[in-house]
Structure 1
Amino acid sequence: MMQKKSVSIHKVRFNVGALPVFSGVVNDHGIRVIEYRADHWVDNFPLIWSNDRQFDALEINLFLEHRYKGLYRAPKRAARSNPLGGISLKTLQSIANSLCIFLSWLEEKNVDWRQVTAQAATQRAKYWLPVYRFRKFLIDLIQAKSLGRDSANLYMTHVRQFYEWARRRGTIEKLPFEYQQLHIKPSNEHLDINSIFSMAHRLSGITVQTSDLTIPRKYRQKSLPSDQLSPYTREELSALYGTRYINSPARRLWVDLALFTGMRAFEIAQFQEAHVVDPSTSDMSSYHATITGKGNKERQILIPRTLMQRLWRYKNCDERIRRVMKWEVKNGTDCDKPLFINRSGLGISEKSVSNTAIFARNELSLSGCILDRSFHDLRSTYATNLAKYMLDKGLESGFIEFKLMALLGHSNFSTTRKYLNFARTVTFDSEMKGWSDTIFDGIDTRLVGDYQHLLRGSDG
């Protein structure tokens, strides 16, 4: 018989309402029940349970609640995806996973995370503090190839945020780690890029704030073959759009949004109806929409006019209006509505969107057609086609990288550069030549206009 984990995450229906009070009701454990004068129920809210560290688990759960309610480190304009003003449920689940790992390690090593002062004022003594010992534990996992460096850094970021919250709350007297001002100068590989937008920082570099809890770059692992790009070919897109499963108006729009704007599955699930406007009131060739993406980072996407026309028709169709009425019964009329709502009046899930490619692939396999592509590969298709389109327009490589980075929401140029490099390959050019002209015709004026604006700015 397998032993039950001592520390675990439970997804529950949780009330994060306002003005809590003790009621006269006592539960089966003899504990008074808390009621809220203003209820706000959240499904699948992640709460951490520990058999031996119950008080630590309660402290972490309070931190999770404060993050979700926007009481601590509220992201900018987060109310678009969370009416309380905090982080999204998806981000909260990621934080809960990191802190569950941290609490499991604390329990296994039998140490107190509140120990924040070293026994001696030396660097060596500092590394015996729990937070640095946990960092060493993650580094050991990286070296054993059981964990990636990016995942380890994410865990440490969430642990650091928990400590910062505990310090502000007064649970600990000081932070056990230090902040550093890091001056980043452009590397030699960037100096040969003809990039007009980065001219101001090319020589001086930039200064950023970081902590000494990050995992050193020397532990970075080499990219695996699975990390390579897998954009759809023209034939594969035709097969995908030709399936009966994609004939549903909503599902076709999910594919369109990924292919024409580079949105991820969860971003499509959270896409707000307020982003959809009536194209007949203007002659714009493309439209801006500000969305909240990975890591709660905001970015602007470009929506071609032809796609906006289809989105507008869907927004006002009879079937969606019936679903909106159900949604308003559950959530009221004051909250921002998602564009895509299921038959039960709930916002669609990320899984519903990402599974679109799986169901279409299964349908095609019945006729002997193999489609070895995922829904996320539509985003790769968008990025590589857009890069090729801008290259054909004669735009500079630096501007293309800058624009792709902004439109895709990447954190560094190395991720963006692989799309540009792939777009230059002969295979990609022969397969997709001409197709990108049709796809990006609606945003051509906006892209070239941005480029010319930068040129005028550099001349001044």
Structure 2
Amino acid sequence: MRLIHSTDEFQLSQQPYPDVPILLDRNGAIVVPALQFLIHQCLHRGRVRSAATWTAYGEALYDYFGYLEGAGHAWEQRQKAGIPSILARYRDWALKRNKESTVNFRLRLVVRFYRWARDRGLIGELPFDDEAVVRRAGGGMLVHAQRLTSTTSPDILLKQRREVFPVLSKGQVAEVLHAVAGNPTHYLIVLLGLQTGLRRMELATFPEHYVMNGGMAGPDRRVFPVLLDPAHVQIKGRQKRTIHLTRHLLDQLWQYRHTYRPMLARRHGGAEPATLFLTADGGPFTNGGMGKIFEAISRRVGYKVHCHMLRHTYATHTLHALRSAMNIGNALLYLRERMGHSHISTTEKYLHYLEQIEDGVLNDYQREVDQLFAGGVTL
């Protein structure tokens, strides 16, 4: 099984559609039902416009159909009584090498594929049942305002434990920045991620022309809003949003733009990229190139660091700081706008991780007290 992506040569009704995931079996033939489903999901549905989401859908089906091909099963085979369904067997196989959240994401897409196939008469019955699940709904973070509601869910899904976001402590932030201090490009990518919560491709495609001379605004201005526009930046969901840059960060970006970046740009053979950050060869960063930065950081600091950790770290520490300056509802709304979350419930998840940050603050305080007494200070 192979996963490829279409180019502009892939046309439907004379309209080119690049980036559509396409599955090929071991003989090189297109897996037609999977392609038809992906066309429906990626091209027909108006809510899914991100090529990154299309890729995630393609990878989910690739994993499932690859399992079927390796095990010698047909996707449309009927379920036999007394043995686990083919979806249950795939789930247990996938769980050996993936997190519960990853397995559930793929299962949900496969479930959607089977519902789609049934609705079009490709299969007569679904290889799973729906069962009632009771959840809390409404009220957001106010537990007392939530009500219990009953909904249905495919019975093959795993019960997920609450996932703990990987958040860097203040000490680890210092270690990560020290690890990239010798490379101005990598250093500023990390610093921009830590101070804005930008996603990986938002960092990679951050435009050069967004960086202004903060000194032109006068000495008293400390924060500078920057409007992210999907016409210039690869933004998830293609929704405009505003981030805030501190004067210190903006000054560093401005210096990079006018001193270090031109040296890199001269190494590039073609037209100069529009992105602020350039590789050692003067080209724009790819998704894979960004990943290599954090692989190198991980080797230097001795623990796993990935780009999305910067986003989690920004969100959690910012929420912790804002909570003492405003009510938590306004703090969440501010953070939601900066992060570009579609739903406030996504932002609310960071409330669950404040305790670990508060523990860190307390530990810092306790260490300072210990040092105070160790120094022989008389109270």
* TM-score under structure 1 length normalisation: 0.56
User: Which residue of 1 is the match for residue 318 of structure 2?
Assistant: 386
State the distance in 1 between where 2:222 and 2:125 align: 52
* Residues 1:98 and 2:98 aligned together: no
State the distance in 2 between where 1:295 and 1:157 align: 20
Give the C-alpha shift of residue 133 in structure 1: 4.0
Report if aligned partners of 2:64, 2:90 keep a CA contact under 8 Å in 1. no
3-state DSSP class of the match of 1:247? coil
User: Which residue of 1 is the match for residue 204 of structure 2?
Assistant: 269
Query: Once the two structures are superposed, what CA deviation does each residue of 1:123-152 show, in whole Å capped at 9, x if it has no partner?
Result: xxxx879xx94543355458x766543223
Q: Size of the alignment, in residue pairs?
A: 348
Could you tell me which of 249, 254, 257 is aligned with 2:184? 249
State the distance in 2 between where 1:239 and 1:112 align: 49
User: Which residue of 2 is the match for residue 72 of structure 1?
Assistant: 44
* Residues 1:311 and 2:262 aligned together: no
State the distance in 2 between where 1:372 and 1:19 align: 45
In the TM superposition, what are the counterparts of 1:22-421 in structure 2 within 5 Å? 47-51=22-26, 54-55=29-30, 57-61=31-35, 64=38, 71-75=43-47, 86-88=49-51, 90-107=52-69, 108=71, 110-113=73-76, 133-138=85-90, 140=92, 147-160=98-111, 162=113, 172=122, 185-186=137-138, 190-191=142-143, 202=145, 212-213=153-154, 219-221=159-161, 227=164, 229-234=166-171, 236-243=172-179, 245-273=180-208, 275-276=210-211, 279=214, 285-290=223-228, 296=237, 298=239, 300=241, 302-306=243-247, 307-315=249-257, 317-319=261-263, 322=266, 326-327=270-271, 337-342=274-279, 346-360=283-297, 362=299, 372=303, 374-376=305-307, 377-393=309-325, 395-404=326-335, 407-408=338-339, 409=341, 412=346, 415-421=349-355
User: Which residue of 2 is the match for residue 25 of structure 1?
Assistant: none
Give the C-alpha shift of residue 297 in structure 1: 7.8
CA 238–64 in structure 1, closer or farther in 2 if over 3 Å, else same: same
Give the C-alpha shift of residue 348 in structure 1: 1.0
3-state DSSP class of the match of 1:287? strand
Give the C-alpha shift of residue 374 in structure 1: 1.6
User: Which residue of 2 is the match for residue 9 of structure 1?
Assistant: 2
Report if aligned partners of 2:65, 2:75 keep a CA contact under 8 Å in 1. no
Give the C-alpha shift of residue 155 in structure 1: 1.1
CA 385–299 in structure 1, closer or farther in 2 if over 3 Å, else same: farther
User: Which residue of 2 is the match for residue 4 of structure 1?
Assistant: none
Letter of the structure 2 residue corresponding to residue 233 of structure 1: K
3-state DSSP class of the match of 1:150? helix
Report if aligned partners of 1:185, 1:206 keep a CA contact under 8 Å in 2. yes
User: Which residue of 1 is the match for residue 374 of structure 2?
Assistant: none
Query: Once the two structures are superposed, what CA deviation does each residue of 1:22-56 show, in whole Å capped at 9, x if it has no partner?
Result: xxxxxxxxxxxxxx998x987xx86422137945x
Give the C-alpha shift of residue 405 in structure 1: 5.0
Give the C-alpha shift of residue 399 in structure 1: 3.8
Report if aligned partners of 1:384, 1:422 keep a CA contact under 8 Å in 2. no
3-state DSSP class of the match of 2:43? coil
Give the C-alpha shift of residue 272 in structure 1: 4.2
State the distance in 1 between where 2:175 and 2:92 align: 46
Report if aligned partners of 1:276, 1:312 keep a CA contact under 8 Å in 2. yes
CA 356–189 in structure 1, closer or farther in 2 if over 3 Å, else same: closer
Letter of the structure 1 residue corresponding to residue 160 of structure 2: R
CA 432–273 in structure 1, closer or farther in 2 if over 3 Å, else same: farther
Query: Once the two structures are superposed, what CA deviation does each residue of 1:59-114 show, in whole Å capped at 9, x if it has no partner?
Result: 434655776xx6333557xxxxxxxxx422x433322221123324555464453x
Report if aligned partners of 2:194, 2:314 keep a CA contact under 8 Å in 1. yes
CA 303–344 in structure 1, closer or farther in 2 if over 3 Å, else same: same
User: Which residue of 2 is the match for residue 428 of structure 1?
Assistant: 361
Report if aligned partners of 1:358, 1:374 keep a CA contact under 8 Å in 2. yes
Report if aligned partners of 2:297, 2:305 keep a CA contact under 8 Å in 1. no
Give the C-alpha shift of residue 255 in structure 1: 0.9
Query: Once the two structures are superposed, what CA deviation does each residue of 1:214-240 show, in whole Å capped at 9, x if it has no partner?
Result: 7557x22465xxx46442334x54454
State the distance in 1 between where 2:148 and 2:227 align: 31
Structure 2 gaps, min length 5: 367-379
State the distance in 1 between where 2:118 and 2:335 align: 39
Structure 1 gaps, min length 5: 1-7, 22-35, 77-85, 119-126, 193-201, 330-336, 364-369, 434-460
CA 323–47 in structure 1, closer or farther in 2 if over 3 Å, else same: farther
* TM-score under structure 2 length normalisation: 0.66
Letter of the structure 1 residue corresponding to residue 243 of structure 2: L
CA 188–278 in structure 1, closer or farther in 2 if over 3 Å, else same: closer
